[in-house]
Structure 1
Amino acid sequence: MRNKIKVVSFNIRSDAARDGLNDFHHRKAYILDKLAAERPGIIGFQEITATMQDWLGRYLPEYNFVGCGRSATYDNEYNSIAYRRDILELHGLDVFWLSPTPTVPGTVYEEQSDCPRICVASLLKHKQSSQPFRFYNTHLDHIGQVAQAKGLTQILNRISQDQAVRRFPVILTGDFNFTPSQPQIKVVDQYPELALKDLAAALPTTCTEYGRRNDDFKIDYIYVDAETAETAEPAVVWDECHEGVYLTDHYPICAQVMI
């Protein structure tokens, strides 16, 4: 039996940023209303902080949030996964750093910015399903192209290793910080055994910097395995704007998948 799940990749933009009209305290009511209206089954957040997560958890109690901060002391920005506890249950969780020492908190690649990067790997199961699925969420480096390629390679290596133990449906969400026209994306082609497809491939842009960019700047992705892609609906953007106030500086992307 397959079950429909609404999946979202949501770079929520840290509350530490100084964005004037689009500061988090101006956006938060719109974010809450959108999530309450859409009720996604699972959300891969990027740039969420502990205070933002606490606030969302308080007003969206039907969600569980899992993950930790990316720094050596497990704080700073999170790549949290939020899932609806009424339909999904957690069977496994791991956080690893995108670095030569993935189990050492706060570590980075030599070619990377000063910002540590992480991937949250989870094993979830729909309560009406007989088997789980793998869900990964990440946010790659914003400066180093080599670090971006190494980070993506590390994540795909991990997915490949997990799948070698036992194959389950796979979903990978994230802000990769590069567009599909850049060479880093070719890393995905080096893993034909995973056969990952981007449900957001048709989207021309996902990051507008609160409407300031009008070029094609698609840097957010929802990858799924080929079998899941066969019945999935293409991703759409949440592009609401309320008198100059956006949900975030990216368009959150949303896709319906059958697990």
Structure 2
Amino acid sequence: MRWLALLLAALLALPAAAKERADRYSAMTYNIRLDIASDGDNAWIHRRRALTSLIAYYAPDLVGMQEVLLGQKRDIEADLPGYAFVGVARDDGKEKGEFSLLGYRRDRFALVQSGTFWLSPTRDVPGKGWDAAYPRVASWARLTDKVAKRSLLVVNTHMDHVGLTARLEGAKLIRSWIAGHRRAGDTVVLMGDFNSPTDSPAYVAITEAGADALRDTLTISRTPHFGPLGTFTAFKVDQVEPAPIDHIFVSEGVTVLRHATLTQQTGGKLPSDHYPVLADLCVGKGC
């Protein structure tokens, strides 16, 4: 019977042992530009396959997309069957308006819980906050790595492009929400289109010192950042912005191995008016 006791002890120790090893994750944030006919040659119908094939090629474990309309959501789900997606539309909390769509690889993660909240003083009710031009949301998922048994709290957002107060207060709200919902042992990933460069009050509100501060994966990458800093292109391959507005942030304890702005284009045509941002992360001993 001694062998049975030893086997039982080994099985009980597996989750703890898994947490001692190094586990790698990749995260991508991508504003895909909504489907609008006035974009002409840059309309969704002309760039859908370029965009979804880019995501499929890099195969990030986690992908946050912004400006996703319902038809685009259905196209993405059809083109990327290896991913499951969470999040509701911002106008009615169902299917009307843009989604901040959050995807994760089905083969790697199990969904524990998910939801969406609004960047407003009444975060559980659809509507605009402060001086925002549009309703803005953050969609989130609590995931469990099926093998490593790690818990991840992942949030994807799209902040307002007009309201300075809305961006600042939205950043504070997201940071507070994460602090209130994070469990012991959670690895936190926050990503999205923040419409906020690195010197903005909203960016500072997320990264400034404190127990719940989040860190910009670009600034702490072990290897130098690859690609241009700016992430907005307006569909122009020769447009070079001085600073990013699309970011990936992580909690303490996450090592960032690599960070890149991906500039894939075909014949001068871009898949979106933003570049996607990709970060390779590592959690655990041995990173």
| TM-score interval, smaller chain | over 0.9
Counterpart check, 1:53 vs 2:73: yes
SS in 2 for 1:32: helix
Q: Distance in 1 between matches of 2:231 and 2:241?
A: 10
For each residue in 1:169-221, what CA deviation from the matched residue of structure 2 results, as whole angstroms up to 9, or x when unmatched? 11000101121122332212455112311113456211111126323141000
Contact 1:3 1:128 in 2 (8 A): no
Contact 2:207 2:215 in 1 (8 A): no
Contact 2:207 2:216 in 1 (8 A): no
Q: Distance in 1 between matches of 2:164 and 2:173?
A: 14
Q: Using the TM superposition, give the Cα deviation of residue 20 of structure 1 relative to its aligned residue in structure 2, in angstroms.
A: 2.2
The residue that corresponds to 1:246 in the other structure is 270
Q: Using the TM superposition, give the Cα deviation of residue 40 of structure 1 relative to its aligned residue in structure 2, in angstroms.
A: 1.1
The residue that corresponds to 1:130 in the other structure is 149
Alignment of 1:168-247 (within 5 A): 168-190=186-208, 192-201=210-219, 204-211=229-236, 213-228=239-254, 231-247=255-271
SS in 2 for 1:28: helix
Counterpart check, 1:81 vs 2:102: yes
SS in 1 for 2:257: coil
What runs of 5+ residues in structure 1 fail to find an aligned partner?
A: none
Q: Distance in 2 between matches of 1:73 and 1:95?
A: 8
What runs of 5+ residues in structure 2 fail to find an aligned partner?
A: 1-20, 220-224
What amino acid does structure 2 have at the position aligned with 1:84? Answer: R
Which segments of structure 1 move beyond 4 Å, counting only runs of 4 or more? none
Correspondent of 1:29 among 21, 46, 49? 49
Q: CA RMSD in A?
A: 1.7
The residue that corresponds to 1:151 in the other structure is 170
Higher Rg:
2
Q: Using the TM superposition, give the Cα deviation of residue 17 of structure 1 relative to its aligned residue in structure 2, in angstroms.
A: 5.5
What amino acid does structure 2 have at the position aligned with 1:136? Answer: V
SS in 1 for 2:68: coil
Q: Using the TM superposition, give the Cα deviation of residue 244 of structure 1 relative to its aligned residue in structure 2, in angstroms.
A: 2.0
Contact 1:44 1:79 in 2 (8 A): yes
Tell me the number of residue pairs that the alignment of Structure 1 and Structure 2 aligns: 254
Farther off after superposition, 62-71 or 208-217: 208-217
Q: Using the TM superposition, give the Cα deviation of residue 79 of structure 1 relative to its aligned residue in structure 2, in angstroms.
A: 0.5
